[in-house]
A and B are shown apart, each in its own frame.
Chain A
């Protein structure tokens, strides 16, 4: 049987990445897929640099990074652009630089994801004043991150609805089903609501 080996092109990865919103997410996706696929490993700066870049990007997206690390990431991109053996490495570095230049990376270091997609930087909350305890969100949440009791007539002493942050993956399914618009998206750092 003829097994066709799918050759992933860097441009295709870039295209896929562009569909994401946050530049940090884009970069992490690009680097991860690049390392798994087209990276040939024939020169040191690209193979070792991208490996390190992946670690740094993971740190940034998890909110565990620092300005030094961001500087290192920038250095990786700069040096790989100069020294990589082939076009693949140089292109990866170019894309990375393009995204770093948006300034969103610095914001992430400060604790803000400007695109409000990076899970570590945003939080869903139920505004109890607006909540009617209909239970739609409870059924919509696949991970059981929402706790609370549905309202039944003539019975008092409910457990109010709330989202357990540790379980929540920030998928946004609950916000779509809430008829009262009682679920809001907040920026973790500032605590200000975010428009969805």
Chain B
């Protein structure tokens, strides 16, 4: 096989890429009592996936991605309370609001690099969190946004007490987002992002409009994060200030690093393992569970760079 053919083959779907979906569908039947945790996991996978596009592919190191998750959650929540309980338009509202914030903040912060950029992403999140806190009349402030009533999807599928509809809703949305993200990362655009990550100076020197590319992916990623936030708002029918919190920004980075950055499926493995570990450890060790998460992270970062998937890669190659 010629080298050209090898590269041509790379973007074709492999059977193993369907594994997460088989697991997700299987889990629906096998763990019927855990579907609300399941929905949370799917939402965090989507959030981590959105982060992977900027952090893993484009190399934009951010600690403020919860800004977009939070804006999406609040926008969808407020839309449900004030305008309409229709869920799909609510998702769109969340996506558009988050994309707008992503674009506007990206215009400013993507002019910087490294530590400055990192600080600015933090600052944006903090500003938004404080704004949400102060805008009591709109967001419910510290008490959180309540009183959402989400209509049945397509007017047919009612959100039930067991979270079945919510789980399948999240699953379908995640699947569509994955299709889109997968297409994106293999495209010329997606590969040019990797080029920017690998060597920005060279991308300039081959005539690539670097800043425009970064702003585009930042906006797209913000929209996806906004959809994740909107899903959370709709499925839990509550939005609290924590959606904008620094902790959520940090946690999502940890999840992605757990799974492995820049490989699309790191989000699935990372968010899945992290959320399940958190759930189990919190039951076993209600006080100390975070210690074990921390220890696991230290071990992974020290001995398995590339996360769990990187580790798996190396084991399979032997």
A, B: real partners? no
* Residues of B bordering A, CB below 8 Å: none
* Residues of A bordering B, CB below 8 Å: none
